[in-house]
Structure 1
């Protein structure tokens, strides 16, 4: 990934949400109405696009006007591995065991492994043994490939990601999903780390600052920092350099940091923060008003 175009408009200035700088398409009244109504439904408050202050508002603004050509290649779960390996080394990436657009009639590798789409989110199936229903996984993956991702939530960058599939080994202990560390990188600096636990069962998360002081409400007690925290922060800041905001998802696998994905639209800006004041705090970090 070598493109170096900057994001279309700095978030510090109020903007006209119907404008389309940098070649972005005009924003339709239907799109604006959908964004406003969806935001009101999720956050129980009006969305400000002309002078966004909250993190979730800035995500909506990005969806409307940010047409940075780098984003598509970096949310592509296949091509981003080259980007990461070039900057941090191949040991940070999870090997690709197979890639294509149609799964073969039989599993192409021994379990446990993960089947996922390269062009979407939450499109994943875990194969733990030969007893798993491979035909059902093939049907699900075919639905992923048939359908473009991101359009219904106006996440523009997904439009240019090739639709396809990939298979990776199941990292961790092979039984449970590893803890997911989501590092919020603002202007090249990690300011917050969201820790996700038990994603397959009793999913919960807690937000910490870079010094591992808890920022959010407790979710089942405090969590120990990973042994690789310093390396995670360093790696995330290398990957996030040159963006006003990107979230870098990482894992700690047997004392080694492992890359997951890059995210430019976390939760599509519709997930709530607890306490709600975190939304404003992260917004100020995105706008560059404060540092952490």
Structure 2
């Protein structure tokens, strides 16, 4: 069923304009009309950026491999985890020479990660099959986030981040015109079900009542990272070229670790916000005057 749905959506993106499909998807998900002429909410402004600010740097920084060059350019190489290998073809992976623990990712989408805690127990056949599927699919067209469609699909194998938790706490800095405004902390993730707790905090690590508890499990007492000031500074540097970007970081044993840059969180259709929070956050985002199309260099 998913394969059929995927093929239909991709076909539609080749037939109908991006803006029309975005409006339809927004109506179905958010249960309201998308105002692109005069956007006011955070979600609406993300949709405007998605359609009207298609700069190549967005696509390059959404690429899990090329973004490393951007981080280095910003003099933050020390935040990068070790890159073990890059492959274009699944069959070229040298499984025998990989360390005991590592993480496999594809560069052209979101959520396509495989965490390997014991290299001896990995099912190589099923892993290769999954990776081939991920590489063949156009995540950008499927989710109407076309920055991903411009990425050359590759497989990267990276260092496993050691943590006292099953997975390290994830700190997502929402940055507007180069200024971090607040942080989404993700913790207590269930590896089996994918469920997790999340909570928003300001830069002083005070809890922000942004989440509708009927739609999401909240995290109200997350531990403040000991190097929060260093993380804020890294987020400032990495976000300075964009109207909006979410800078995802980790903090382990006093070290700031780069995760990724996300330009359209939840595809610009986050429906878990409480009350007028979506509108409040929208006031932080000043849309640029100049428009760009096509993600050309």
Which structure has greater helix proportion? Answer: 2
Which of residues 58, 83, 92 in structure 2 aligns to 1:96?
Answer: 83
Which TM-score applies when normalising by structure 2?
0.82
- Gaps in structure 1 of 5+ consecutive residues: 1-26
Moved more, 106-115 or 95-104: 106-115
Counterpart CA distance in 2 for 1:140 and 1:253 is 30
Contact 1:248–1:261 (8 Å) recurs in 2? yes
Matched with 1:78 is 65
Q: Give the whole-Å Cα distance in 2 for the aligned partners of 1:112 and 1:79.
A: 23
Report the Cα distance in structure 1 between the residues aligned to 2:22 and 2:130, rounded to whole angstroms.
Answer: 28
Q: How does 1:1-292 map to 2 (within 5 A)?
A: 31-103=18-90, 104=93, 106-129=95-118, 130-173=120-163, 176-199=166-189, 200=191, 201-215=194-208, 216-217=210-211, 219-287=218-286
SS of the equivalent of 2:103 reads strand
In structure 2, the residue corresponding to 1:234 is in which secondary structure? helix
Distance (whole Å) between structure 2 residues aligned to residue 240 and residue 28 of structure 1: 34
Aligned partners of 1:142, 1:28: CA distance in 2, in Å?
26
Cα displacement string for residues 166-198 of structure 1 (whole angstroms, at most 9, x for unaligned residues): 001210238721111000110111001011113
For the Cα contact (< 8 Å) 1:185–1:237, is it kept in 2?
yes
- Check the 8 A contact 2:105/2:113 in 1, yes or no: yes
Q: What is the CA–CA distance in structure 2 between the aligned matches of 1:286 and 1:245, rounded to whole Å?
A: 7
**RMSD over aligned Cα atoms:** 2.0
Q: In structure 1, what is the Cα distance between the partners aligned to 2:52 and 2:87?
A: 32
Secondary structure at 2:221's aligned position in 1?
coil
Q: Following TM superposition, by how much is the alpha carbon of 1:107 offset from its aligned partner in structure 2, in angstroms?
A: 4.5
CA distance in 1, matches of 2:279, 2:134: 35
Residue by residue over 1:218-267, the C-alpha shift from the partner in whole angstroms, topping out at 9 and shown as x without a partner, is: 71432121111100110110111121111100000111110000011111
Higher RCO, 1 vs 2 (CA within 8 Å, ≥6 residues apart): 2
- Alpha carbons of structure 1 residues 146 and 173: separation in structure 2 relative to 1, 3 Å: same
Once the two structures are TM-superposed, the CA of residue 28 in structure 1 deviates from its matched residue by 7.5
Give me the whole-angstrom Cα distance separating, in 1, the residues matched to 2:98 and 2:275. Answer: 45
Aligned residues: 262
Alpha-carbon distance change, 202 to 114 in structure 1, aligned in 2, over 3 angstroms: same
